[in-house]
């Protein structure tokens, strides 16, 4: 009640809502009053094709229907939220109802698929019934970023190959889906300068066999050895402990053009995989982990 009293906006909603309903009641009462018995003067003055419009009260059933509607509005607003910050006597909220419905849905899911909870992820990835459910889970929760075929998109990794930022064993995949990941590549233009960015970008592209200016490769290698090896390693094959990608293969998260790589080295990148365990629950996360593992181990 204190938050209600301290909110002018809430009071505005309350006053306007109640005033409008009372105004509707008064309007119905005023228009329902009987006019004079003189039917000749009890007209609106409108006439068309010999037909005159009379100013008679509403039929009683119609009048009471309006009144009952307004009374229903008063009762509803006393029971449920609708008047500013007033929560209603029933204490109903849409978020609480959603949580209840989600819990009911989860209980039905657990009753059907809880049998898979104790299976290891490798065995689970080979279970046709479990993977049928997991395929639907993936389409509803993961396809928006990774694509319906799980082959990813710019900034979202392909899940069907064996190139992994954080590791591709079943337990690591489960950890990624359950608790999420956050990878950050800082921008280096302030340290490298524009020419340094060109040289490092050229060297990185040369690692995967791309054609680049020869005079930039050696300076880029030296700069790489000074700055980049901390995450990507001396051999540039990455470090799954921090989600640093392998730079020697031909798998690129954002693209392999010089322009894209220059943008990455200059301004950096920031990626986040949200945690799905609070949203989906243990059983669904295990099914998804097994499904993703099976995509790269058909």
Domains of the chain by start residue, with CATH:
2-92 (no CATH), 96-180+275-296 (1.10.760.10), 183-273 (1.10.760.10)
Instruction: Specify the pTM.
Output: 0.70
Supply the pLDDT for residue 1: 44
Beta-strand ranges (E) seen in 39-188 are 43-48, 51-54, 181-185
DSSP 257: S
What mean pLDDT comes out for the span 77-85? 87
Strands 269-273 and 51-54: what pairing?
Answer: unpaired
- Who wins on pLDDT, 179 or 39? 179
DSSP 261: H
| The pLDDT of residue 237 is above 90 | yes
What mean pLDDT comes out for the span 222-237? 95
| The pLDDT of residue 44 is above 80 | no
In the structure, what pLDDT confidence band is assigned to residue 260 with cuts at 50, 70 and 90?
very high
**Integer Cα distance of 144 and 211 in angstroms:** 34
What mean pLDDT comes out for the span 151-171? 94
With H, G, I as helix, E, B as strand and everything else as coil, classify residue 19.
helix
In the structure, what pLDDT confidence band is assigned to residue 219 with cuts at 50, 70 and 90?
very high
| The pLDDT of residue 6 is above 80 | no
What mean pLDDT comes out for the span 55-70? 85
| The pLDDT of residue 121 is above 90 | yes
What mean pLDDT comes out for the span 83-111? 87
In the structure, what pLDDT confidence band is assigned to residue 5 with cuts at 50, 70 and 90?
very low
| Mean pLDDT computed over every residue of the chain | 89
């Amino acid at each position: 009640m204190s938050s209600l009293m301290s909110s002018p906006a809430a009071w505005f909603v309350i006053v306007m809502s109640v005033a409008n309903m009372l105004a509707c009641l008064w309007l119905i009462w005023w228009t329902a009053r009987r006019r004079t018995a003189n039917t000749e003067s009890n007209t609106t003055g409108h006439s068309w094709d010999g037909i005159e419009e009379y100013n008679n009260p509403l039929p009683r059933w119609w009048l009471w229907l309006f009144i009952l509607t307004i009374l229903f509005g008063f009762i509803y607003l006393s029971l449920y939220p609708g008047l500013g910050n007033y929560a209603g006597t029933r204490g109903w909220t849409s978020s609480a109802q959603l949580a209840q419905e989600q819990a009911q849905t989860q209980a039905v899911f657990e009753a059907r698929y809880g049998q898979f909870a104790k299976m290891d992820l490798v065995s689970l990835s080979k279970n046709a019934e479990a993977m049928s459910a997991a395929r639907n889970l993936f389409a509803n929760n993961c396809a928006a970023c990774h694509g319906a075929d799980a082959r990813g998109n710019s900034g979202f990794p392909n899940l069907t190959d064996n190139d992994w930022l954080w590791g591709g064993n079943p337990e690591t995949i489960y950890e990624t889906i359950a608790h999420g990941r956050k990878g950050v590549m800082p921008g280096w233009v302030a340290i490298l300068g524009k020419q340094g960015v060109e040289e490092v970008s050229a060297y990185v592209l040369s690692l995967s066999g791309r054609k680049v200016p020869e005079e930039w490769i050696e300076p880029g290698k030296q700069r790489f050895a000074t700055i980049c090896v901390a995450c990507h390693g001396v051999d540039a094959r990455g470090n799954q402990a921090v989600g640093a990608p392998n730079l020697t293969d031909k798998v690129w998260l954002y693209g392999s053009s010089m322009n894209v790589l220059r943008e990455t080295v200059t301004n950096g990148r920031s990626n986040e995989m949200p945690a799905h365990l609070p949203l989906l629950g243990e059983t669904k996360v295990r099914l998804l982990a097994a499904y993703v593992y099976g995509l790269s181990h058909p």
